[in-house]
Amino acid sequence: MKIVGISSSPRGKNSNTLKLLDAALEGAEEAGAEVESIDVAKMKIKFCIACDKCHKTGECSIKDDFSALLTKLLEADGVIWSSPNYITNVTAQLKTVFDRCPLVIHEQLFDGKYSMSLTTAGGNEIDFILDIMNNFMIQCGGKAIGGVGCSMYLGPEAVETAIEKSREMGKDLVEAIKEKRQYPEQEARQKAWKEGFKYSILANKEHWTHNCDYWMEKGWIKE
Ligand SMILES: Cc1cc2nc3c(=O)[nH]c(=O)nc-3n(C[C@H](O)[C@H](O)[C@H](O)COP(=O)(O)O)c2cc1C
């Protein structure tokens, strides 16, 4: 079982959020997973240019580090997303990765994968940021088991508690993957999305040929 941890703070080794990610990956490793930490802030990943090529051909037109990252994500059984709160959102570095994933969303390529999310913030907005990462995973067809965050103003004890919670959730991520844990509310959202998005696929079938073939192959549309 492979679990990939994504860090996205520009502060590298000094990142508070990285402390949570390191602990979660240690927990996952203790529970038996093979783990890898990837810092997307150190990668060269350009903005999506909305060329639609991925929907047409299954390939991105931009040649940069994103394709190697996507390969790692597609090979993983679990993903740990992490980002500090930047202006009540994830960092631009992580958002850029999300924006490069329309093919993943259109074809639900994270189906069968599990995730958890981690954040730190100067203030109190923790759940909002965790929800951004968890919702992204659900949008991509995967499952989100939960998240851990820490408001830094609470001081070193709160950080220690969050580190320990992250370690435990990293272990639980491995358990969720092993037992193929079900999340009926997330599955219901994905089913509702698919029922609606079917009409976008059909309306764009001349342009989104790769998407259309994929949906046919999966039996999500007839013709
Ligand atoms: C550009 C920038 C924007 C930030 N925006 C917020 C914010 O909107 N809300 C908040 O609570 N903290 C905000 N912070 C504080 C960081 O979330 C906090 O310091 C975090 O722990 C940094 O994590 P890191 O060490 O992993 O980079 C911001 C920090 C920076 C540099």
Give, using CA atoms, the residue closest to atom 8 of ligand 1: 87
Give, using CA atoms, the residue closest to atom 29 of ligand 1: 86
The ligand 1 atom nearest the CA atom of 83: 26
User: What strand order describes the sheet that includes 34-39?
Assistant: 34-39, 2-7, 78-82, 114-121, 143-151
Please, what are the averages of pLDDT over each run of 10 residues along the chain (223 residues)?
A: 98 97 98 98 98 97 98 98 98 98 98 98 98 98 98 98 98 98 98 97 96 97 82
What's residue 217's pLDDT?
97
Residue 35, phi then psi, degrees to nearest 5:
-120, 155
- Give the CA distances from residue 24 to residues 100, 110, 125, 190, in Å, rounded to whole numbers and listed in that order: 25, 20, 21, 27
Q: In order of start, what are the domains of the chain with their CATH numbers?
A: 2-181 (3.40.50.360)
What's residue 222's pLDDT?
86
What's residue 98's pLDDT?
98
The tokens of 131 are what? Answer: 């929800």
Give, using CA atoms, the residue closest to atom 2 of ligand 1: 86
**Nearest by Cα to 162 from 17, 25, 39:** 17
Cα 165 from chain centre: 19
Contact yes or no for 101/50 (Cβ under 8 A): no
Residues touching ligand 1 (Cβ under 6 Å) are 9, 11, 15-18, 84-88, 120-123, 125, 152
Sign of CA dihedral 187, 28, 90, 61: negative
Best mutation site among 86, 133, 152 for ligand 1 pocket (most ligand atoms within 8 Å of CB): 86
Give, using CA atoms, the residue closest to atom 17 of ligand 1: 121
